[in-house]
Structure 1
Amino acid sequence: MKYSKIIATGSYLPAKVLTNNDLAKMVDTNDEWIVERTGIKERRTISENENTSDMAYQAALKAIEMAEIDPSSIDFILVATATPDSVFPSTACILQHKLGIKGGGAYDMQAACSGFIYALATADSYIKAGLAKRILVVGADSLSRIVDYTDRGTCILFGDGAGAVILEASDEVGILGAELKADGSYGSILTSSGHLYNGQIKGSPYIYMDGQAVFKFAVKSLTAIAKELLAKVGMTSNEINWMIPHQANLRIIEATAKMLATPINKVVVTVDRHGNTSAASIPLALDEAVRDGRIKRGDNLLFEGIGAGFTWGAVIARF
């Protein structure tokens, strides 16, 4: 049986740091209030001359460097993003061009904060089906461009960044299983409805979120899908070396870990420094833990994420 195995990781964060004290100058909030409710202390924001594809490109280069491969050997590119450079062409095609790659498939996947999980599961399926041998999967978002900085309920949460992994067909155990779900009836509790219509923006161009509703749904859904996937692959939470969750809110991460009986010291947490970077948050956290030595070859990893749609999912992989 062929597996898809993560052979490399990479990430990129914009240079500009936006602290809680910076936000306190823009909206009625303060550092203590934000940290207590979210665990976030700072986040990064993209510069005016950067695009989502630029962040994706930098993260991809880091992964390619770690893998020690020729970019032309990548035969498929999936970019998970809710903030593409343009309506079309896709950010994946723009990234492909920047990497100097021609041929092979490339497209964007829009599952909001669950995007990386969806893209990882899709890439795994492509490799197992023999449709590709080496796939670049990137999660990249520039949410600061759709945040209303007069709304303290949302502007404190979101940041920008990109993370990447390279998956390769392997005889060694890699991705063990995935589970994906969606329920569109919950779409109204987290949405950004703005879209182009006859040259104008129709709907709100900003993120709207019902924070309490999202929190309740997230903890319940993430716990359930993680337990479902563990049972599916025949593992227990005790066999997971590291949980790498979507970095939305520290309280959601802690509550989910508790429900799964996973010690918090076995959870990779970056939300305090990155904020919620949507599809980028899981690969950003993964790359940090790989590069600082916490995650080692042979470790069992549980990825889980939830986002607007509502969409949610989980992946278990041996690194």
Structure 2
Amino acid sequence: MGFEIIGTGHYVPGAPVTNEALTRVMDTSDDWIYQRSGIRQRHFAGEGQAASDLALEASKRALEAARLSPKDLDYIIFTSMTPDYVFPGSGAVLGAKLGIDGVPALDVRQQCAAMIFGLQLVDGLFKSGAAKTILFVGAEAHAGFMPWDDWDVVEGKSDREVSPEARKRANDHRALAVLFGDGAGALVFRQTDRDAGLVAAKVHTDGRYAETLYVPGGGFRTRPYWKANHFDEQAHIPRMDGRELFKFAVTKLPQTARKLCEDTSTPIDKIDYFLAHQANARINNYVREQLGVPEDKMPMNIDRFGNTSAGTLPILIDEETRKGTLKKGQLNMMLALGAGIHWGCALVRW
């Protein structure tokens, strides 16, 4: 018993925000951002637009592609590090927006690595008999932690100069702010008797490195969990040790990929495509080169979307499916590393 993807969809909000647009609120440039990340533009959720709203649009498109209605779903798996609320999770909210209250919804918090962990959940739910059709969604609304208030300037609605204080605040978090974008990807999985689904996966977590990428404010370590001074201290903006994350990713991902191939007796050159989390083009190119994988076997779309965290792999899969790149019978590998730190690789027969 295995599973197959029978429908894909993605959605990104608003008009693209180019690297040039970010120069209006911080000291940066298109060349500086592109050389370090491979990003040219990204999208941001509007005021009042939540991760579940982005997920809803992506889900509608995936269900349409699968020729199903929401009522055909047995389970929802929702992955996000930017949920609508501290609690409850966004899975329940998405279910209500789809009109299928009563269908179980599970929220996964493995951030950028959510898809790899999620595949094990999908596989387990099918094998346990808990579901026959599952909606898997990755959705992010990172706009809420961007280090500027001058959205009208970023979006080109005003040409006024931002204050020196506002520019300094944005500059303080520039390395993080240029990387992230908003969007959602949705996949409809269905149980199948054909030779398809999860072949094997290797996932890992090392909480000693949790503070290489984390949000310092708003946690339940304090009473109350959000203090009056947190906003002034910019504690709602994530802290990121980019150098450490880069080193971790380019070391652990190739190691894990090789180990997975070794344990499954799978030659790397027999894998059709490598679908990597879209955090940084330099990371992906380094991993690809370490594995000896040709450039055309690792598609990327980070230049147009930035890092959409849990949304990146579902968005990439939707794009490559609609292009006709991903086809039944292929053996593909997914790779990802996310805050936690969580990381892993999965071999999937399409």
State TM-score, norm by structure 1.
0.96
The answer to whether the aligner puts 1:170 opposite 2:201 as a matched pair is no
Q: Secondary structure at the match of 1:6?
A: strand
- Which residue of the partner structure matches residue 302 of structure 1? 333
- The verdict on how the C-alpha distance between 1:200 and 1:12 changes in structure 2, with shifts beyond 3 A counting, is same
What is the CA deviation profile of residues 109-159 of structure 1, one whole-angstrom value per residue up to 9, with x for unaligned ones?
111111222222211111122221111110111112123241211111000
The answer to whether the aligner puts 1:9 opposite 2:32 as a matched pair is no
Tell whether the 8 Å contact from 2:55 to 2:185 is kept in structure 1 after alignment.
yes
- Aligned partner letter, 1:279: A
TM-superposed deviation, 1:220? 0.8
In structure 1, stretches of 5+ residues that fail to align are none
CA distance in 1, matches of 2:8, 2:276: 16
- Which residue of the partner structure matches residue 178 of structure 2? 156
- Aligned partner letter, 2:208: S
TM-superposed deviation, 1:79? 0.4
- Count of aligned residue pairs for this structure pair: 318
- Which residue of the partner structure matches residue 179 of structure 1? 202
- Which residue of the partner structure matches residue 343 of structure 2? 312
The answer to whether the aligner puts 1:78 opposite 2:104 as a matched pair is no
CA distance in 2, matches of 1:148, 1:122: 35
Tell whether the 8 Å contact from 1:43 to 1:273 is kept in structure 2 after alignment.
yes
- Which residue of the partner structure matches residue 113 of structure 1? 112
CA distance in 2, matches of 1:8, 1:220: 34
- Which residue of the partner structure matches residue 18 of structure 1? 17
RMSD after superposition? 1.5
Q: Secondary structure at the match of 2:344?
A: strand
TM-superposed deviation, 1:199? 6.7
CA distance in 2, matches of 1:290, 1:75: 23
- Which residue of the partner structure matches residue 322 of structure 2? 291
CA distance in 1, matches of 2:65, 2:271: 24
What is the CA deviation profile of residues 59-107 of structure 1, one whole-angstrom value per residue up to 9, with x for unaligned ones?
1111111111122121110101011101223210111111111333212
Taking every aligned residue pair, what percent have the same amino acid on both sides?
36
- Aligned partner letter, 1:200: W
For the pair shown, the structure with the greater C-alpha radius of gyration is 2
The answer to whether the aligner puts 1:236 opposite 2:267 as a matched pair is yes
- Which residue of the partner structure matches residue 31 of structure 1? 30
Q: Secondary structure at the match of 2:140?
A: strand
Tell whether the 8 Å contact from 2:185 to 2:312 is kept in structure 1 after alignment.
yes
* 4+ long deviations beyond 4 Å: none
CA distance in 2, matches of 1:72, 1:159: 31
Greater Cα offset, 210-219 or 97-106: 97-106
CA distance in 1, matches of 2:314, 2:120: 14
- Aligned partner letter, 1:195: G
